[in-house]
Structure 1
Amino acid sequence: MNPEIWTTKFRGFTMSKLSKEDKVNIYYLWKKQCYSPKQIGHEYKISSGNVQYLVSLIDKHGLAILEHAYQSYSDDLKLEIIQKALDPTRSIRSVALEYALPSRGMVSNWLRSYRENGYTIVTKKKGRKPNDRSGERTARSGKSQAQERKPSLTREELEATYHQRIYKKIRCLSGRTNRTRKTGQAEEITQAVTQLRRELKVSLTFILATINGHPDLPHLSRSDYYYTLQKVGKDTKNEKLMNRIRELFEEHHARYGYRRITLQLKREGMIVNHKKVQRLMTIMGLVALHNRKRAKYSSYQGTIGVIKENKIKQSFHSEHPDQKWYADITEFKLNGQKTYLSALLDGCTQEVISYEVSRHPNLAQTISMMEKAVKRYPNAAELTFHTDQGWQYQNRYFQNWLSEHGMNQSMSRKGKSTDNGLIESFFGTLKREMFFGFQQNFQSISALNQAIKEYIHYYNTKRIKSKLKGLTPIEYRASVLKAAQ
Structure 2
Amino acid sequence: MVASPAQIAFTAACTAHHLTPPLTNRVKAQLIDQLRADYPLQDLLAAAQIASSSYYDARHRQYRQDDPALIDEIAFYHKYYPDMGYRRVTTELQRLGWDINHKRVLRIMQEHAWQCTLYRHPGRGYRFDSFEGHTGQIAPNRLHRRFKTDRPLQKIVTDISEFRWDHESIEERAFLAICLDLFNMEIVTWQLAPVVTVTLALSPVQELITYRPALPYRMTVHSDRGYQYQHARFVTYLKRHHVFQSMSRQGNCLDNAPVESCFAQLKVLTVNNHRYPDYATLKAALQHSIDYYNFRASKQALGKLAAVEYRQRWAIDHDFLQFAGFTPLTNATNRKSPVV
Smaller-chain TM-score bracket: 0.7 to 0.9
Alignment map for 1:269-348 (pairs within 5 Å): 269-288=97-116, 289-292=118-121, 293-294=123-124, 295-334=126-165, 335=167, 336=169, 337-348=172-183
Report what 1:352 is aligned to.
Answer: 187
| Greater relative CO (CA pairs within 8 A, separation 6+) | 2
Following superposition, the deviation at residue 388 of structure 1 comes to 0.5
CA deviation map 1:264-307 (0-9, x unaligned) = 22222223221222122111111212253444311111101111
In 1, the alpha carbon distance for the partners of 2:295 and 2:15 equals 42
Query: SS state of the match for residue 364, structure 1?
Result: helix
In 2, the alpha carbon distance for the partners of 1:443 and 1:344 equals 27
> Residue 204 of structure 2 is aligned with which of 369, 385, 400?
369
Report what 2:79 is aligned to.
Answer: 250
CA deviation map 1:348-389 (0-9, x unaligned) = 011111000100111111222222212331425611110000
Dislocated runs of 4+, deviation >6 Å = 166-169
Report what 2:282 is aligned to.
Answer: 448
Following superposition, the deviation at residue 314 of structure 1 comes to 0.5
In 2, the alpha carbon distance for the partners of 1:170 and 1:438 equals 32
Change in 2 beyond 3 A, CA 1:209/1:223: farther
2:225 is the alignment partner of 1:225 = no
State the one-letter code of the partner of 2:220.
T
Following superposition, the deviation at residue 234 of structure 1 comes to 2.1
Query: SS state of the match for residue 389, structure 1?
Result: coil
Following superposition, the deviation at residue 216 of structure 1 comes to 8.9
Query: SS state of the match for residue 415, structure 1?
Result: coil
Report what 1:212 is aligned to.
Answer: 42
Following superposition, the deviation at residue 474 of structure 1 comes to 0.7
Report what 1:423 is aligned to.
Answer: 259
Change in 2 beyond 3 A, CA 1:219/1:406: closer
Query: SS state of the match for residue 289, structure 2?
Result: helix
Change in 2 beyond 3 A, CA 1:359/1:210: same
The structure with the greater share of residues assigned to helix is: 1
> Residue 458 of structure 1 is aligned with which of 274, 280, 292?
292
2:305 is the alignment partner of 1:471 = yes
Give the number of equivalent residue pairs: 307
Alignment map for 1:102-251 (pairs within 5 Å): 172-174=12-14, 176=16, 179-184=19-24, 187-194=26-33, 207=37, 210-213=40-43, 217-218=47-48, 221-230=51-60, 234-251=63-80
In 1, the alpha carbon distance for the partners of 2:316 and 2:280 equals 39
State the one-letter code of the partner of 2:53.
S
What is the identity percentage for the equivalent residue pairs of Structure 1 and Structure 2?
A: 26
2:96 is the alignment partner of 1:268 = yes
Report what 2:327 is aligned to.
Answer: none
In 2, the alpha carbon distance for the partners of 1:363 and 1:212 equals 67
Contact 1:402/1:408 (CA < 8 Å) preserved in 2? yes
In 1, the alpha carbon distance for the partners of 2:153 and 2:240 equals 17
Following superposition, the deviation at residue 248 of structure 1 comes to 2.0
Following superposition, the deviation at residue 171 of structure 1 comes to 6.8
In 2, the alpha carbon distance for the partners of 1:276 and 1:207 equals 31
Contact 1:208/1:221 (CA < 8 Å) preserved in 2? no
Query: SS state of the match for residue 457, structure 1?
Result: helix
Report what 1:134 is aligned to.
Answer: none
Report what 2:272 is aligned to.
Answer: 436
State the one-letter code of the partner of 1:243.
D
Contact 1:190/1:228 (CA < 8 Å) preserved in 2? yes
Following superposition, the deviation at residue 208 of structure 1 comes to 9.3
Scaled by the length of structure 2, the TM-score of the pair is 0.81
Larger Rg: 1
Instruction: Please report the RMSD computed on the Cα atoms of aligned residues, expressed in angstroms.
Output: 2.8
State the one-letter code of the partner of 1:346.
D
Change in 2 beyond 3 A, CA 1:216/1:296: same
State the one-letter code of the partner of 1:400.
T
Change in 2 beyond 3 A, CA 1:448/1:168: closer
Report what 1:90 is aligned to.
Answer: none
Report what 1:138 is aligned to.
Answer: none
Change in 2 beyond 3 A, CA 1:218/1:475: closer
In 1, the alpha carbon distance for the partners of 2:8 and 2:152 equals 61
